[in-house]
Structure 1
Amino acid sequence: MIKNRRTVAVMVIISMLAGSMLTLLIPNVMDAWESSVFHDSQQGVPEMEEAQPPFWKQNGMTEQQMQKIATTYRLIQNKYVEKMDGNEVIDGAITGMLDSLKDPYSVYMDTEQAEQFNETVFESQFSGIGAEVTMDEGKVTIMAPIKGSPAERAGLLPKDVILSVNGEKLLGLTLNEAVAKIRGPKGTQAKLEIVRGTQSEPMEIIVVRDDIDINTVFTEMLDNGIGYMDIRQFALNTGTSFEEQLAELEKQNMKGLIIDLRNNPGGVLSVVISMVQKFVPAGEIVVQVEDASGQRQQEKSKDGSKTYPVVVIINEGSASASEIMAAALQESAGMQVVGMPSFGKGTVQSTFDSGGEDGSSLKMTIAKWLTPNGNDINKKGVQPDVKVELPDYFQATILPKDEELQYDDNNGQVRSLQLMLTALGYKTDRTDGYFSEQTKLAVRAFQKIEQLPMDGIVNEKTATRIEEKYIEKLRLPESDLHLQKAIEVMNNRLNP
C-alpha cells in the first residue's frame, strides 16, 4: 500500500541555463534612454562616438523603432491625464513585448515577482495552494496540482481554468499577477471560480493555503520485488535524492522499478537528463534540443548502468521535464508507459536579468525539445503504451460547507455530490448537476447508514461525512487504477 504523500514545491521552469548563453535584447535600458533619446526632437539628440553606436542599434533595433518607444514614453509622461510612474510604464512596455510572442511561458517579472519566483525555485518552502499554472489563450490554467497539496485535496485537476480568486477576476492579468493573487499565507482561503472541460457553468472550489515543502522523491517496496518511486518534480536537489533512494531500493533486491510522474510539472533539464540516462543505454539519445535557427543538440546517455525493467506512469498533469523522462525511457530504453497522455509542454525556458539593476528579470522560451525519435510533443503530450481511463467520479471537487444542497438545485456542486455518491456505490439516476428525486433518495440512504438525520439535504455534517468516505475510497490501493495497471505490466515483464 502506498503511504500518504507529502506536499512538495512546484518548479516553474524546465531549464536554468546561464544568462550569458544568449544576448539580452535590450540591456541597460534606462541608462541608454536617458542619455540619448528622451530629448525633445527640436533639441536634437546628443552626439555619440562613432566607435560606439547606440545600444539599440547594437542590438538590432532601428532608429525608427527606438524613436516610437521614446515618443510613446514622452507622451505618457507629458500629455497623459494622470501622472504615471516611469518605472511602471517601462515595466508595462517590457510586458507588452513579451506578450507579443504569444507564448505563455515567456514573461516579465518585476522585483517582487522575481523574488517570489526565486523563492519557489531555490527556497525550501513557500506558502500557497500547491499547483503549477500556465496561461492558455489568455486564461489561467492548471498544469498540475502537486501531489498531496491543498490544490489536489480540494479536487483541482489539470486543464481547470481559474476565472477568479476571492471574487477578483483574473481575465486580463498577466500570469505573474494572477499567481500573486492565488498565492498567500498559510491558513488563508483561496475561493477559486473555475471552469472544467466542456461544462458551461463555473463552480467554486475553496482551497486552504498551506506550506509547500520541497521534498521531491518518495519510494516504497511493493510485492514481488517491485520498487515504487514517486518523483514529484525535478528540482535542483532531486538528482541526489533519486540516487540515494534508488540505492536503498536496490539493497532490498528490487527486480523492477515503477516511476510515478503523475502531476509532476517538470523542473530542471540537466537534472532529468542525469537521472534518466541511468536507464538509457550508453550512446542512445535522451533528448534533443532545437534552437531558434533549427540547430539540434542531442543529449546522449553516458551511463545505462541500470538494466532492470522500468514502467512509467503519466497523466494530464505530467509536464515538461517529466515528459522528457517518459519519452526517453519509452523510445530509447524500450520501457512501457502507462496512464493518460501527458500535458504537452515541449519548450525550454531560461531566466535573464532585465538589465535594470532592480532585481527584475525575464523568463523566456529559448528552444524546444524533441523526443529521441525527433517527435514534437508540444500541445500533444507523450502517448502511453497502455492507456487507462479513470471513472468520472475522479473529477469530483470538495462540497460546500456554508450552504446546503437539496432537491431541485442545479449546479456543479450537486454534480460533485452525485459523483461521490456514485463512487461510494449509491445509485443516482444522473451526474449532470441536477438534484433529482433519485439523488435525494441516494443521500437519504447514505444518511441512514451513517446515522445522520434522513432528510435528503446535504448540510455541513452530511457533506463532510460524504467527503471523508469518498477520500477513503480513493485511497484504497485498488482505487489507484493507474498504479494497479503499472504493477500488472511490470509483473508481465518480470514473469513473461
Structure 2
Amino acid sequence: MLIFSLVLVTAGITVLALTLGGGTEQPIAQRIDSDRQEFNKLFSTYDTLSKEYYKDVDENKLINGAINGMIDSLEDPYSDYMNEEEAKSFHENISSSFEGIGAEIQEQEGRIVIVSPIKGSPAEKAGLQPNDIILSVNGKSLQGMSSTEAVLLIRGKKGSEVELEIQRGENTEPLMVKLTRDTIPLETVYAEMLKDGIAKIQITSFSENTAQELRSAINDMAGKGMKGIIIDVRGNPGGLLDQAEEIASMFVPKGEVIFQVEDRSGEKAVFKSKNDRELDVPVVVLVDKGSASASEILAAAVKESAGIQLVGENTFGKGTVQSAKDFDDKSNFKFTTAKWLTPDGNWIHKTGIKPDVQVVLPQYANLAFISPDKELKLSDSSAEVKTAEQMLEALGFAPGQVDGFFDQQTKKAVQAFQTSKKLEATGVVKGKTTLMLMEGLRNKILSNDTQLKKAQELLNKEITK
C-alpha cells in the first residue's frame, strides 16, 4: 500500500515523500491535516486514479506529473521540474563537459528556442543562431515540451547524429539540419592578441571556473604587452550568478554597485564590487542578441558602474534569478526566486540592454543553413536555392539574379566555387559542396566582424590619448 505524506520545508518548498508499506490505510484524502485542506483535490484525484483508472498506473509518474503541472502553471519558462535523468543533465550543464550539439535552449510559449550556440560547437558550426526554433528532433515534435525534456532528446553520445527541424523567422519554411554530436568542453574563456596590443577575450558561458580562467587569460595577455581588452560575451547564454559577480568585480571599481536583487516583497539586496585592484587598460565589451542572463549582469555592471562602452546589438533580456532544489531521489526543480536589476535599478527582462554603440554584422551573417543531404540542382526553385545564391554572392561567385531559381548562371557559379575548392565541378549543391560553402561563409563572417572592428577602433582611440 502506498503511504503518501506531505513535508513542508521552511523555505516554502513543497516536498512529496513516498514510502511503500503493507497494511490497510485510509485514502490519502482522509488523512490530510485539517489546516492543509487546499490539498484535498490533489490527493483525492490521486486516490481515484490509483484505484479506479481502467488500467494500472505508474504511481511515481502521477506524482511527477502533479509537481510538473504545479510548476507549469506558473507560466515561467525558467521554472521547471526535472526527473532524475533530466536533473543529471542540468548539473552537467553547469559543472562538467557533456556530449551533445552545444546550444543553450529555453521554452517560450510552448516552443523550444535557441538562446545561443556555444563557441566551436556543432551547433555553431552548423549555423544555428539565437531565436531559431527547434520544431522536432529526429522526427519527434517538441511542441509543448519543457526545455529539460528537449535537452534529453537533443543530447547523445559523441559521434552520433541528430536531425533537427529548424524554423528561423515566423514566415519561413522549416529546414532539416543534421549534426554530429561532440564533446562540449569545460573551457569557457578564449584569449588572443590582436594587433596594436589589443587582447580579445571571449567568455562563452559562466561556469564554475570561469572567473579563474579569465584571471589567467588577463595575466597571460598582460605578459604579451596588452594595452586594451575586448571582452566578448556575444552568444553567451549566461550561467552561474556568483561567477558574473566575481567577473564584474574585476572591472567595476571597489564599492560600486554590480547588480541588485529584488524579492517578491520588493525588498532589494545590493551587491557591490570587491575589486582590490583596477585594470589600468581601457576595456570595451561586445554583446548581441545571444548575450543573456549572467552576460547581461556583467554588461549592465560595466556600462552603468564603470563607464565601459558596450558595442554590438541589443541583448537577449533575461532579468530573473533561479534556484534549484534537489529531492532525495535525485530529481529536482528550478524556479524563479527574484528579479535582478542593473546598478541604476533598471529591469531589463524581455527588453535587453541597448549597447552604447550599435553595430550589426553584415546581412550574410544571418543567412539560414542548408542541409548537406539536400540536393540543389539546375531548374530547382526553393528557399534553400536562394540561400545558396546569397552565400555564393557573399563569397564572390556571381550566381546571377538572387531569386531562388537555380538557373545556368547559378550552376556556373557553383562550378566555379567547386573548382576553387578542388571539388568535382558538378554544378550541384550537395554534401561536401554544401559544407564547404557554409564553412567559407563562416570564415567570411569571422574575417569581416564589423562589431569587433568597431571595438578595436574605440580602444585604439583610448590607447592613443
Same-fold call, TM cutoff 0.5: yes
1:113 counterpart = 2:97: no
**Equivalent residue number for residue 392 of structure 1:** 363
1:389–1:70 CA distance, 2 compared to 1 (3 A)? same
Residue 442 of structure 1 aligns with an amino acid whose one-letter code is A
1:467 counterpart = 2:447: no
Q: Distance in 2 between matches of 1:22 and 1:313?
A: 42
Secondary structure of 2:413's counterpart equals: helix
Q: Distance in 1 between matches of 2:199 and 2:150?
A: 39
Range with bigger deviation, 298-307 or 111-120: 298-307
1:453–1:213 CA distance, 2 compared to 1 (3 A)? closer
**Equivalent residue number for residue 50 of structure 1:** none
1:372 counterpart = 2:343: yes
Q: CA deviation at 1:344?
A: 1.0
**Equivalent residue number for residue 193 of structure 2:** 221
**Equivalent residue number for residue 4 of structure 2:** none
Q: Distance in 2 between matches of 1:21 and 1:378?
A: 30
Q: Distance in 2 between matches of 1:23 and 1:319?
A: 28
1:482 counterpart = 2:451: yes
Q: Distance in 1 between matches of 2:384 and 2:9?
A: 50
Secondary structure of 2:247's counterpart equals: helix
Match of 2:429 among 444, 447, 458: 458
Structure 2 counterparts to residues 28-67 of structure 1, below 5 A: 28-30=16-18, 39=27, 44-45=30-31, 54=33, 57=35, 62-63=36-37, 65-67=38-40
Q: Distance in 2 between matches of 1:93 and 1:347?
A: 25
Q: Distance in 2 between matches of 1:380 and 1:120?
A: 26
Query: Is the 8 Å Cα contact of residues 90 and 148 (structure 2) preserved in structure 1?
Result: no
**Equivalent residue number for residue 495 of structure 1:** 464
Q: Distance in 2 between matches of 1:294 and 1:22?
A: 20
Query: Is the 8 Å Cα contact of residues 424 and 470 (structure 1) preserved in structure 2?
Result: yes
Q: CA deviation at 1:122?
A: 1.9
Secondary structure of 1:490's counterpart equals: helix
Residue 97 of structure 1 aligns with an amino acid whose one-letter code is M
Instruction: Work out the percentage of aligned pairs sharing the same amino acid.
Output: 43
1:439–1:335 CA distance, 2 compared to 1 (3 A)? same
Q: Distance in 1 between matches of 2:176 and 2:308?
A: 40
1:205 counterpart = 2:205: no
Q: Distance in 1 between matches of 2:129 and 2:155?
A: 17
Q: Distance in 2 between matches of 1:197 and 1:174?
A: 21
Secondary structure of 1:117's counterpart equals: helix
**Equivalent residue number for residue 279 of structure 1:** 251
Query: Is the 8 Å Cα contact of residues 280 and 328 (structure 1) preserved in structure 2?
Result: yes
Q: Distance in 2 between matches of 1:432 and 1:129?
A: 32
Q: Distance in 2 between matches of 1:176 and 1:278?
A: 33
Q: CA deviation at 1:121?
A: 1.8
**Equivalent residue number for residue 270 of structure 2:** 298
Residue 69 of structure 1 aligns with an amino acid whose one-letter code is L
Residue 481 of structure 1 aligns with an amino acid whose one-letter code is T
Q: Distance in 2 between matches of 1:312 and 1:40?
A: 57
Which consecutive residues of structure 1, in runs of 5 or more, have no partner in the other structure? 1-19, 47-53
Query: Is the 8 Å Cα contact of residues 77 and 108 (structure 2) preserved in structure 1?
Result: yes
Secondary structure of 1:30's counterpart equals: strand
**Equivalent residue number for residue 27 of structure 1:** 15
**Equivalent residue number for residue 196 of structure 1:** 168
1:425 counterpart = 2:425: no
Q: Distance in 2 between matches of 1:388 and 1:122?
A: 34
**Equivalent residue number for residue 11 of structure 1:** none
Q: CA deviation at 1:438?
A: 4.6
Q: Distance in 2 between matches of 1:320 and 1:383?
A: 14
Query: Is the 8 Å Cα contact of residues 312 and 359 (structure 2) preserved in structure 1?
Result: yes
Q: CA deviation at 1:422?
A: 2.0
Secondary structure of 1:462's counterpart equals: helix
Q: Distance in 2 between matches of 1:162 and 1:78?
A: 39
Q: CA deviation at 1:431?
A: 5.1
Q: CA deviation at 1:80?
A: 1.7
Give deviations 1:59-96, integer Å, cap 9, x for gaps: xxx40x21100111112112222211110011001111
Query: Is the 8 Å Cα contact of residues 101 and 181 (structure 2) preserved in structure 1?
Result: yes
Quick one: higher RCO (CA 8 Å, sep 6+), 1 or 2? 1
Q: CA deviation at 1:181?
A: 0.4
Query: Is the 8 Å Cα contact of residues 260 and 268 (structure 2) preserved in structure 1?
Result: yes
Q: Distance in 1 between matches of 2:296 and 2:186?
A: 20
1:315–1:79 CA distance, 2 compared to 1 (3 A)? same
